[in-house]
Amino acid sequence: MESKKKSRKGYEINRRTFLKMAGVTGLAASPIAFPAVLRGAAPKEILIGSIHPITGPVAYDGTSLDQAVHLAVDQKNAAGGIKSMGGAKIKVALMDSEGKPKVGEAAAEKLIRDGCVALLGCYQSPVAMVTTAVAERHGVPHLITVGVADELLERGFKYTFRTQPDASNMAELTCKYLRQLSDKFNIALKTIAVLHISGFGAVVNSKLAKFASRYGFEIIGSVSYGIGTPDITTEISKIKGMNGDVIVDVGYLSDGILKIRTYNDLKVEPKGGIIGCANGAFSNPSMVKEMGRLAEFLMDGNYWHNPRSAFARSVIEEYNKKYTRVIFQSHAVHAYNATLVVIDALERAGTSDPGKLRDAIARTSFKDHIAPGGPIEFDTTGQNKNAMATLQQVQKREIKAILPDEFSDAKPVFPIPPWSAKA
């Protein structure tokens, strides 16, 4: 059993460590020339870039994000394009990051050379660290579709914006929802053990350590593992041995499916359950389909669509009609919303000039989106002030939002039944 002191020392991540991990290049590098924008005439086509992993271990997730970008653009083009620019149509240029910061960096450079007036990406925070740096250097707006690390917006950048909740928001609200469940169902929960993937998972783990005590929890230990690991028995055995009241789990879809099977095999059943936080599997329809009964009652504190929004439901329906191989999942919510922000800013700016587009994005107050919470509005760092995580639970093979009440479509089932009782 790892001590709390050793766990925090071993797994917390600071800004310097994260920047080194991401491989960020300096902003002092020589800029490349941005293609000249024709003055006095509206462009016939506006190019925006999509940088997402469409190959590699998180290709399924990356594809869902890119599809959401394309859907929002296709809808706008079908409705007549950017009306303030004479009906100019938007074209999406996709480049595969492969989940690698260096590849993402090269992709951002090429897309800007090719004339993209905005970039959207990248799913993985280490990749977004470098693509946003490139965009900042060249004065091109970058909307983070998914990328949870707080550090992304702690560098004083003026061209980076994020619609989704950050790591602090997701960690704090997950702890808050756990406390609400504990109080509502009168089940004493005091200790948390954290199992997390390296990279973004280390960031989320550090935020959980920060906020847990605020809600009456103690982090008694954490265990890390690498992306693409073929077996996780040792790590889960360590977590089980900590005997925490709750296990909080952070990771991606592929490793999440592996962990669920291993949790079941090892009969890991803490009294407060195994709860995801920013988990790419635990509130993912693909996981539910793959895991069947083992997915039942899993919970996840994560971003989600607003289940009470007719607009959100219509977007999901259209998405799943258009894309049948990679279906709608939570990641697509903020890729779609980020694209809507770019489209709205283009309409208000009436130009594709990147600097003026950036200023229009900064002034955004956009209500017609598909996530819970108020209008999308950015603070001085570029973070959406009204972004919020919700708590999801799988019930009868469907993912439902259970907290907070005003954005829920189901009541929580708690405590989570043991693996053997799932049907």
Measured CA to CA in angstroms, residue 25 lies from 8, 13, 64, 123, 395 at distances of: 28, 19, 28, 19, 45
For residue 423, the model assigns a pLDDT of 79
For residue 22, the model assigns a pLDDT of 45
List, by residue range, all CATH 3.40.50.2300 domains of the chain. 4-13+168-302+389-421, 31-165+308-362
For the record, the structure tokens of 85 come out as 């620019």
DSSP element (H, E) containing 135: helix 125-138
Give residues with Cβ within 8 angstroms of 211, minimum separation 6.
Answer: 168, 171, 172, 175
Is the peptide bond between 372 and the residue preceding it cis, with omega within 30 degrees of 0? no
Cβ atoms within 10 Å of 389's Cβ, excluding its own: 28
Round to whole Å and give the CA distance between 68 and 319.
8
Measured CA to CA in angstroms, residue 279 lies from 42, 149, 282, 287 at distances of: 43, 14, 6, 11
Round to whole Å and give the CA distance between 196 and 199.
9
Strand order in the sheet with 390-395: 218-225, 191-197, 246-250, 274-277, 299-302, 390-395, 398-403
Which CATH class name applies to 4-13+168-302+389-421?
alpha beta
- Asked if residues 32 and 114 have their Cβ atoms less than 8 Å apart, the reply is no
Give residues with Cβ within 8 angstroms of 389, minimum separation 6.
Answer: 165, 169, 170, 173, 174, 278, 301, 302, 303, 304
- For each of the chain's 423 residues, which pLDDT tens digit applies? 433 333 333 333 444 444 444 444 444 333 344 443 444 456 789 999 999 999 998 999 999 999 999 999 999 999 999 999 999 999 999 999 999 999 999 999 999 999 999 999 999 999 999 999 999 999 999 999 999 999 999 999 999 999 999 999 999 999 999 999 999 999 999 999 999 999 899 999 999 999 999 999 999 999 999 988 999 999 999 999 999 999 999 999 989 999 999 999 999 999 999 999 999 999 999 999 999 999 999 999 999 999 999 999 999 999 999 999 999 999 999 999 999 999 999 999 999 999 999 999 999 999 999 999 999 999 999 999 999 999 999 999 999 999 999 999 999 999 999 999 887
Which CATH class name applies to 31-165+308-362?
alpha beta
Among 26, 385, 11, smallest CA distance to 200 is for: 11
For residue 42, the model assigns a pLDDT of 60
Bridge pairing between strands 390-395 and 398-403:
antiparallel
Round to whole Å and give the CA distance between 194 and 218.
11
Strand order in the sheet with 45-52: 89-96, 45-52, 119-121, 142-144, 160-162
For residue 289, the model assigns a pLDDT of 94
Round to whole Å and give the CA distance between 409 and 405.
8
For residue 41, the model assigns a pLDDT of 57
- Asked if residues 279 and 304 have their Cβ atoms less than 8 Å apart, the reply is no
User: pTM to 2 decimals?
Assistant: 0.88
Phi-psi region of 413 (alpha: psi -120 to 50; beta: other; left: phi over 0): beta
